[in-house]
Structure 1
Amino acid sequence: MIAWSDSDLAIRGAIRDWIDKELRPHLDALESGELPPYNLLRKLFADFGIDAMAEESLRKALAKERRTAEGAAAGKRQSTDKKSREGQEGFESMAAVLVSELAGVSLGSVASMGVSLGLGAATIMSKGTLEQKERWLPKIVTAEHIAAWAITEPDSGSDAFGGMKTSVRRDGDEFVLKGQKTFITNGPYADVTVVYAKLDEDDGTPIRDRQVLTFVLDKGMEGLTQGKAFKKMGMMSSPTGELFFDNVRLGMDRLLGGPAALEKGSKAADGRESARASFSMERVGCAILSLGIINECHRLSIDYAKQRELWGRPIGDFQLIQLKLAKMEVARLNVQNMVFSAIEHIRAGQLPSLSEASAIKLYSTEAATDVAMDAVQLFGGNGYMAEYRVEQLARDAKSLMIYAGSNEIQVTHVAKGLLAR
């Protein structure tokens, strides 16, 4: 893939019109945290038919899974044709266009939906039993319900698994969950929350190495407290908060993968592995978000350089301003090409490794932050004013260097991948 297709560009035009009409009028309320983004996102889904497409796609996927399960139970050999992706070609790039355009205006809003679908729903889809998928996914994929994905804790940000203290212990046929999570996107409002916790069993296994299980909780469960949204430097349109678990009782039906998840060595038992797969896709997603910020800073800066005059000349005539614009263009091309490459690999079924995803995240988020800070500088005093929006883009871009694993941790993952060859 070397360029956006005509269909991608049509989507881009349509989403820009929608943003101008539906999103920008509410931007101040969104970016102050006064207005949660969820009803606007539901309107986006309805206006573009995303909810109907997601519902139909899920229905077909679950029906196919049920037929496969019934065929396996009957001893029938299943077809191994390659039609499962039929009709999906081009969807990845259209989704990337939509996400990047939204990110350039309200990064927090698109991050909220990205976590709900790309982490919450995706984890249930990859780890859940058919019954669990049928129970929770229909309302999440249509945005009727919002999902959170809870792994980070106060003392275990980058050391997500080793430092995890949230635990579950068995109590008959149930589990009892206790602990705390923090920095949880959608946490204050989530209808459904995917929670990672360590199995608390006195079998001599060191705490750092204990089995990690994954559960699904619903809003309003006894013992579950969803804290208020934090005040943040950026991404205020993405409600982020704490979750507290005070002896929450969970049935086996809430353990993703069901009883098989308790069998050590089974695919369903490895909560760490599913989380790592989520990390990879989340980090590739950061490149798409970064591209949106770079594109918006690029557009605003070019327009401003043409209009703003100094000593009777547009500031775009001055070489130092031209240097900033040229560096923005280099960053735009590089990050866009990373996105194109990732899309091609995903289409080919070749998901990036954790180290590759970390490299993509490291470069793209630093590029977005550099571009946004250069945009603030190019705008001068106006760049420091909220009215001109580049200050919001700078704050949002900086969050991407911490979001989905700090960039310092990305360096470690890249280096480990290289040294393991």
Structure 2
Amino acid sequence: MSFEPLASDFYGYENLLDDQEKQHIAVLRSYLETEVKPIVNDHWNRAEFPHQIVKGLADVRVIGLPWEETRPFENSAVFRGWVALELARVDAGVATYVGVQNGLAMGAVGLTGSAEQRAEWLPRLASGEIVGAFGLTEPLSGSDSAQGLRTTARRDGDNWVINGSKRWIGNATFSDMTVIWAKSEEDGQVKGFIVPTATEGYSATKIEGKFSLRSVQNADITLENVVVPESLRLQNANTFTDTAKVLRETRAEVAWAAVGVAIGAYEAALEYAGQRIQFGKPISSHQLVQDLLVKCIGNITASIGMVARVSQMLDDGIQRDEHSALAKAYATARMRETVAWSREILGGNGIVLDYDVARFFADAEALYSYEGTREMNTLIVGRAITGHSAFV
């Protein structure tokens, strides 16, 4: 299958990928166009996840890319970011599913699990045999998770007893395991636990009424005296600093996904503008529409440059929290502008699902907030460049 460059990659950043990575992107792009794109609007409208694509995503090998136990070939962080872009370019909900499965659930096991835990859980997650979720955010704790976590874990011999609640947990209505982060009653430090969702005392309830990422099955989780053995405690997750290692990597991929959402909206608007006739000619020939389209491609191009460099820094082992924080804050802000301009180009047709832009417009709001709000990421960068912490 031949690789065709994206016209929306205006400066040709895809050339950072090697030939094998490009071929993998071509296979993924074909699958998304033929199997995923035709069904996403219907599932979004019904607020249902398209479970039929889980096996296909595993078959095109987009799950488990970073880990020695599961990666199909040696690959770069830029490639893994581009995968997130391609997923989000078609549907942010599908990108979020993969981000939770691949980045958060597998990331927690891959970065903070023991060798035995990695060997047991990573292949099962990568194959799609089981679905994972990541339980950090709580009803009363979001941005202050480092200090304000209320879910507790109490050591009881060879077991741990977990009590608390989580909110906004993606994939959680149908996950087979959820990584739960809880504060140890012994030392007050945050620990991570692999919790099979069939465990007694664990329950997940779908959050209804969302207008963004409607196909993503977010849940409220309740944990009432949930007992897990010490063997399911992530052996290298001993403080919130270890939790942050996972978030550092996934935050950069959320920035890539934000670029994908911007591209998806821009491409839909560009196609529409070429077909919509007003005053006797396509609206793409009007100056004001071209102005909006150029501002969109400018945002996209600048954002790709930033996220690509952040991923290169990850490969080089020099990426720090403030680097991924700036990329996430910047790319999601530019995404928000781009989807708004794209919706503007469509006029009234921009608020119906028929032309895709409305879905991208709505879904952008969730990406703008999750994995660290713009404000919190700004403070992370602000602390790095001034030497002063402005966190309360």
Partner of 1:27: 40
Q: For residues 356 and 58 of structure 1, what CA distance do their matches in structure 2 show?
A: 28
Q: Alpha carbons of 1:60 and 1:187: their partners in 2 closer, same or farther (altered >3 Å)?
A: closer
129, 136, 139: which is aligned to 2:124? 139
Q: Does 1:88 align with 2:99?
A: no
Q: Which has the larger radius of gyration?
A: 1
Q: Alpha carbons of 1:144 and 1:225: their partners in 2 closer, same or farther (altered >3 Å)?
A: same
After TM superposition, the structure 1 stretch with the greater mean CA deviation from structure 2, 360-369 or 339-348, is: 339-348
Q: Does 1:412 align with 2:379?
A: yes
Partner of 1:171: 156
**Identity of matched residues, %:** 25
300, 304, 308: which is aligned to 2:272? 304
The answer to whether the Cα contact below 8 Å between 2:158 and 2:229 also exists between their aligned partners in 1 is yes
Matching residue's letter, 2:372: G
The answer to whether the Cα contact below 8 Å between 1:224 and 1:245 also exists between their aligned partners in 2 is yes
Partner of 2:229: 251
338, 349, 354: which is aligned to 1:387? 354
SS at match of 2:160: strand
Pairwise CA distance, 1:293? 1.4
Q: For residues 223 and 362 of structure 2, what CA distance do their matches in structure 1 show?
A: 32
Pairwise CA distance, 1:229? 4.3
Pairwise CA distance, 1:305? 2.0
Q: For residues 145 and 132 of structure 2, what CA distance do their matches in structure 1 show?
A: 20
Q: For residues 286 and 191 of structure 2, what CA distance do their matches in structure 1 show?
A: 59
The answer to whether the Cα contact below 8 Å between 2:104 and 2:246 also exists between their aligned partners in 1 is yes
Alignment coverage as a number of residue pairs: 375
Q: Does 1:195 align with 2:180?
A: yes
Q: Does 1:337 align with 2:305?
A: yes
Q: For residues 13 and 299 of structure 1, what CA distance do their matches in structure 2 show?
A: 18
Pairwise CA distance, 1:50? 5.2
The answer to whether the Cα contact below 8 Å between 1:174 and 1:251 also exists between their aligned partners in 2 is yes
1:59-101 per-position Cα deviation (integer Å, ceiling 9, x unaligned): 699xxxxxxxxxxxxxxxxxxxxxxxxx625x44443333212
Q: For residues 13 and 135 of structure 1, what CA distance do their matches in structure 2 show?
A: 31
Q: For residues 364 and 387 of structure 1, what CA distance do their matches in structure 2 show?
A: 26
Instruction: Provide TM-score, normalisation by structure 1.
Output: 0.83
The answer to whether the Cα contact below 8 Å between 2:69 and 2:119 also exists between their aligned partners in 1 is no
The answer to whether the Cα contact below 8 Å between 1:287 and 1:338 also exists between their aligned partners in 2 is no
Q: For residues 70 and 286 of structure 2, what CA distance do their matches in structure 1 show?
A: 57
Q: For residues 224 and 395 of structure 1, what CA distance do their matches in structure 2 show?
A: 31
Q: Alpha carbons of 1:10 and 1:131: their partners in 2 closer, same or farther (altered >3 Å)?
A: closer
Pairwise CA distance, 1:409? 1.1
Q: Does 1:58 align with 2:37?
A: no
Q: For residues 25 and 71 of structure 2, what CA distance do their matches in structure 1 show?
A: 28
Q: Alpha carbons of 1:238 and 1:343: their partners in 2 closer, same or farther (altered >3 Å)?
A: same
SS at match of 2:284: helix
Partner of 1:361: 328
Q: For residues 269 and 400 of structure 1, what CA distance do their matches in structure 2 show?
A: 26
SS at match of 1:293: helix
Q: Alpha carbons of 1:136 and 1:405: their partners in 2 closer, same or farther (altered >3 Å)?
A: same
SS at match of 2:162: strand
Q: For residues 55 and 316 of structure 1, what CA distance do their matches in structure 2 show?
A: 41
1:186-221 per-position Cα deviation (integer Å, ceiling 9, x unaligned): 1111111111111124xxx7xxxx211111110210
1:88-143 per-position Cα deviation (integer Å, ceiling 9, x unaligned): 25x44443333212212211112112111211111112222222222222201222
Q: Alpha carbons of 1:22 and 1:253: their partners in 2 closer, same or farther (altered >3 Å)?
A: same
SS at match of 2:13: coil
SS at match of 1:158: coil
- Root mean square deviation, CA, Å: 2.4
Partner of 1:374: 341
Q: How do 1:162-241 and structure 2 match up within 5 A?
A: 162-201=147-186, 210-241=188-219
SS at match of 1:232: coil
Pairwise CA distance, 1:9? 4.8
The answer to whether the Cα contact below 8 Å between 1:195 and 1:217 also exists between their aligned partners in 2 is yes
Instruction: Provide TM-score, normalisation by structure 2.
Output: 0.88
Q: Alpha carbons of 1:356 and 1:97: their partners in 2 closer, same or farther (altered >3 Å)?
A: closer
274, 281, 285: which is aligned to 1:317? 285
Pairwise CA distance, 1:237? 2.0
The answer to whether the Cα contact below 8 Å between 1:324 and 1:374 also exists between their aligned partners in 2 is yes
Matching residue's letter, 2:263: N
